Chains A and B, each alone.
Chain A
Amino acid sequence: MIDMTVDLNGLKLKNPVMTASGTSGYGTELEDFFDPSLLGALIVKGTTPEPREGNRYPRMAETASGMLNSVGLQNKGIGHFKEVIYPDISRYDTEVIVNINGNTIDDYLNITGQLVSMDKIRAIELNISCPNVKMGGMAFGTHSASAREVIREVRKAWPRHLMVKLSPNVTSVTEFASIAEEEGADSLSLINTLLGIAIDAEKRRPKLANITGGLSGPAIKPVALRMVWQVSKAVEIPVVGIGGIVSSDDALEFIIAGASAIQVGTGIFLDPEAPVKIVKGIEDYCKRHGFSNTEEFRGSFEDVAP
């Protein structure tokens, strides 16, 4: 009997597979393909205090085994979430985690304050790593003093599970992981997208209206795996792996590198059914290898020489 549940530092998940913020809307969009309640958690799209229109079009460019996006946190704001989305998605029999964003610490506290009254939201993902906004976002997550301050303030205001989403666009990801742990984060998710650009040589123009964007997809998987490995050794709190996961093999690699759970992002664009296929693939792997839970092989890859 395989027990697929995961205990993420007190946050109980029915399995280790989540959707990554900004890649599955509010979860309702996935209902055409599968029941979102089958997943370990849904991380709903990046939410800001005010409604945002995001960046100008074009917002995406396909790159080798991946894509750049510069969406820029287009969303209808926390007020819309509270009144329209939350009552609807509260019916899901899975954890709904809200990814929160802001220009200022007050913005983060504003959203956090409103989410406290929404009982169904047992966890938030503090996004200090969005590369596509001019203020806030990655500016917090790539500057250690700012990161410390925003995590500390949100921690004081949020009584339930606090997941901090880290940026890969730093010299030492473990430095930021340790800061988050010291400031009381319950878990870490990584990596957000890698900052990049794409150029149209014929027109000698950037492919994105925003010029820069965030790189995602299988192209970033080795970088993400390396960072998850480093971070999971550097901190005691659980790590949620993100970056180029499109199959259960990818997901398993992250767990073996040390991740307690994983998020599927760009993989959903390729195959909207990928998250449920990954749950099944992990379960099959456990059966084949005689594991009763993913915890039995998490972080195990250095136990055996190649």
Chain B
Amino acid sequence: MGKYVRDLTIKESRKAGSDLQLITLFTGQPFPGFLPGQFLQIRVDGSSDTFLRRPFSVHDYDSSSGELKILVHIVGNGSRTLAAMPPGESVNAIFPLGNSFTMPEKGQKVLLVGGGCGIAPLLYLGRKIVENGIKPQFLLGFRNSSVMPETRPYSELGELLIVTEDGSEGEAGFVTDHHVLKEGEYDRIYCCGPDEMMKAVVNAPAALNAGCEVSLENLMACGFGVCLCCIAETVRGNLCTCTDGPVFNSADLKWGQPGISCG
């Protein structure tokens, strides 16, 4: 798959939760498109403290309009600067990067589990799963209702289950407290969120007989497999999250690394 380095124009940017910004970018000339789970490396402004590119997963993409959505978790200078950029400005991006989630087979029962900003790649994944004739189930967890983005895009694609730690929306607790992860039966579970959450999800009773894929967000410099900084420890040795991932079969991961927060 070819890679592109382009200046993408910001078409729209709006607050999507207390620390989330939903940004719509125009990808320009037609290109083969994105696979679900892929990401972009965005150069925010190249200033001294936002020196390296930042990885953002494809939140949604419409090939007919060329519009791409990213969900930015505002955690540091890079994300804060990006979130403050007005429509009309542009950012340089390298894309599409990384592997992708494996599509389920016809008739399979699938659950998409997201935590916090880790819900970002699950919308585009859900859309692709629907295009393949399967109705997915979403289980999304947040700290509280104030950090939640609009969830209608998810509920339009499939059944939506919400969990918040304080019970301000949906059921109270963690995603792993939800009965679907205790008693549900699935062929495939897709998961993205903080490492501790993903570890718990892939060990939940419902996940034991399902094929589980998780999307990692390791610290990276290049995004295209040359710096070897973003490695995941796997049964096949150290692999690059940016090129061998970000999607991994959970059975391949050794989870040997400290938890990394989103952003």
User: Hey, which bits of chain A sit against chain B, CB under 8 A?
Assistant: 22-25, 29-30, 32-33, 45, 53-54, 56-67, 69, 71, 74, 217-218, 266, 268-273
Contacts and interface: CB of A to CB of B under 8 A. Distances in A.
Given A67-B52, A69-B221, A23 B46 contact: no
Contacts of B231: 54, 57, 59, 74
B2 A32 contact: yes
B218 A65 contact: no
Contacts of B222: 23, 268-269, 272
Interface in B3-41: 3, 5
Contacts of A218: 51
Given A270-B52, A273-B5, A53 B237 contact: yes
A196 to B, nearest CB: 15
Nearest to B241: A57
Contacts of B225: 25, 29
5 contacts: A25-B225, A29-B226, A57-B233, A60-B230, A269-B53
B79 to A, nearest CB: 13
B207 interface: no
A206 B256 CA distance: 17
Nearest to A65: B48
Contacts of B237: 53
A3 to B, nearest CB: 29
Nearest to B54: A62
Contacts of B204: none
A69 B51 contact: no
A194 to B, nearest CB: 16
A266 B43 CA distance: 14
Contacts of B52: 62, 67, 269-270
Contacts of B51: 62-67, 217-218, 270
B161 interface: no
B228 A269 contact: no
B94 interface: yes
A33 B92 CA distance: 14
Contacts of B221: 60, 67, 69, 266, 269
B238 interface: yes
Nearest to B227: A269
B129 to A, nearest CB: 28
Contacts of A74: 228, 231, 238
Contacts, number: 98
Contact of B227 (A23, A33, A61, A66): A23
B224 interface: yes
Interface residues of B, number: 34
Which 3 residue pairs of A and B lie closest in terms of their CB atoms, listed nearest first?
A60-B229, A32-B3, A269-B222
B247 to A, nearest CB: 18
Contact of B5 (A24, A29, A272): A272
B155 to A, nearest CB: 36
Nearest to B220: A60
B5 A71 contact: no
B257 interface: yes
Given A67-B51, A74-B238, A217-B51, A270 B43 contact: yes
A24 B224 CA distance: 9
A59 B229 contact: yes
B5 A59 contact: no
A28 B217 CA distance: 24
Given A45-B228, A270-B43, A270-B46, 20 more contacts: A22-B227, A30-B226, A32-B3, A33-B5, A53-B238, A56-B257, A57-B231, A59-B230, A60-B219, A60-B220, A60-B230, A62-B52, A67-B51, A67-B221, A71-B228, A74-B228, A218-B51, A269-B222, A269-B223, A272-B222
B131 interface: no
B52 to A, nearest CB: 5
A195 B260 CA distance: 25
Interface string B243-258: 0000000000000111
Contact of A54 (B2, B48, B228, B258): B228
B257 A23 contact: no
A58 B257 contact: yes
Given A217-B51, A268-B222, A269-B53, A69 B5 contact: no
Nearest to A72: B228
A61 B2 CA distance: 28
A233 to B, nearest CB: 31
A7 B5 CA distance: 33
Given A33-B3, A58-B219, A71-B227, A64 B43 contact: no
Contacts of A24: 226
Contacts of B49: 62, 64
Contacts of B238: 53-54, 74
